């Protein structure tokens, strides 16, 4: 009977059967990706497949903007050039001072026999697009493992910390922004060296400093910079500015809001730098006498 069936009526399995197969497959993928993190290889393969499309979707707009720039007024360029020259003079003066300080610093380091800090590696990355996923605050940038980007690198713009590379594909990588929900950055108030942690609350929402007593010495306008305590963010990078401090009677903590200093929505280039150098391991034994006592038993 089946052998005589014309080819026209052969349709393969029914849609419902197919749905069963493919939804089981998707659920398996979901669990293995979200809970077990097994799917990175597949993700990297697919990201190479999709790269030409990403390139095609973003490049024409860029090129159009570049052509627009090309026809900018000459006077604008001249005035900008003059301003830049002035700035360059100022900056070179500063750079001379920095060079002197660096030399002094190197001497001091050599004297105290401190471990030499790793040379900082910088790579310029270009933002391809904001992540479309409304649940997270991510950026997709145009450099991946082919340009030696590694997960854990810090991404900054010229004003402050933007985020951290969390996933690297062959040609692109994903950056988790500091405003992503429950993303933590250990920071220090620059004015009084108070160490605390700043929490992300979600895309387009301010950052929050939690669990500080109502009488804490933080004011509007204070600058938070990284403290380097976590071993991920190197110390001394500016992160956020305090915009609002609410001290309510009856609540155990002050509500402190901050806005990120990095404004990556205003330009399209970011800098990826290495994370903090490896720190000394956490001491395992409580004290030397306790350890020797243990050995005796």
Partner 1 sequence: MPISSQLLRPVSFGFILLTFLLAMLFNLAPWQAALQGLTPDFIALMLVYWALHQPKRIGVGWAFSLGLLMDVADGNYLGQHALAYSVIACLTLIRQRQFAIFPFWQQALITLFLLLLAQCIMLLVRLLFGDSFPGLGYFAGAPIAAILWTPLSNLMLMHQRKPVADDL
Which residues in this chain contact partner 1 in the complex, by CB under 8 A? 11, 15-16, 18-19, 21-23, 25-30, 33-34, 39, 42-43, 46-47, 49-50, 53-54, 56-58, 61, 128-136, 138, 140, 167, 174, 181, 202
Contact yes or no for 196/182 (Cβ under 8 A): no
- In the complex, the smallest distance separating the C-beta of residue 19 from partner 1, rounded to whole angstroms, is 4
- In the complex, the smallest distance separating the C-beta of residue 81 from partner 1, rounded to whole angstroms, is 30
| 3 state DSSP class of 141 | strand
Nearer to partner 1, 56 or 278 (CB): 56
- In the complex, the smallest distance separating the C-beta of residue 51 from partner 1, rounded to whole angstroms, is 10
Angle at CA of residue 73, ends 69 and 79, nearest 5°:
105
For 221, other C-beta atoms within 10 Å of its C-beta total 9
Distance CA 245, CA 1 (A): 80
Contact yes or no for 242/224 (Cβ under 8 A): yes
- In the complex, the smallest distance separating the C-beta of residue 62 from partner 1, rounded to whole angstroms, is 9
What tokens were used for 229?
A: 């305590």
Nearer to partner 1, 141 or 187 (CB): 141
Return phi, psi of residue 49, to 5°: -60, -40
Nearer to partner 1, 26 or 81 (CB): 26
Nearer to partner 1, 166 or 223 (CB): 166
Nearer to partner 1, 51 or 253 (CB): 51
Instruction: Give me the residue label for tokens 């895309």.
Output: 203
């Amino acid at each position: 009977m089946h052998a005589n069936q014309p080819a026209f009526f052969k349709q393969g399995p029914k849609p419902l059967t197919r749905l069963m197969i493919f939804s089981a497959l998707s659920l398996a993928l979901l669990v293995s990706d979200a809970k077990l993190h097994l799917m990175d290889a597949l993700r990297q393969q697919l990201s190479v497949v999709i790269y030409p499309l990403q390139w095609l979707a973003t490049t024409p707009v860029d090129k159009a903007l570049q052509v627009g720039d090309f026809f900018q007024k000459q006077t604008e360029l001249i005035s900008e050039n003059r301003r830049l020259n002035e700035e360059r003079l100022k900056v070179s003066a500063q750079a001379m001072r920095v060079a002197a300080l660096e030399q002094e610093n190197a001497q001091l380091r050599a004297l105290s026999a401190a471990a030499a800090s790793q040379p900082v590696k910088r790579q310029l990355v270009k933002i391809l697009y904001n992540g479309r996923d409304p649940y997270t605050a991510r950026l997709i940038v145009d450099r991946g493992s082919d340009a030696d980007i590694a997960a854990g690198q810090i991404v900054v713009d010229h004003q402050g910390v933007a985020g951290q590379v969390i996933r690297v594909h062959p040609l692109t990588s994903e950056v988790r922004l500091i405003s992503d929900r429950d993303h933590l950055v250990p920071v220090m108030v620059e004015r009084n060296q108070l160490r605390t942690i700043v929490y992300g609350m979600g895309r387009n929402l301010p950052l929050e400093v939690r669990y500080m007593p109502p009488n804490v010495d933080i004011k509007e306008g204070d600058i938070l910079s990284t403290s380097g305590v976590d071993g991920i963010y190197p110390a001394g990078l500016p992160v956020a500015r305090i915009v609002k401090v609410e001290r309510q009677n009856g609540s155990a903590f002050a509500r402190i809001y901050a806005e990120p200093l990095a404004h990556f929505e205003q330009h399209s280039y970011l800098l990826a730098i290495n994370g903090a150098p490896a720190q000394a391991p956490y001491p395992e034994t409580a004290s030397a006498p306790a350890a020797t006592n243990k050995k005796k038993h």
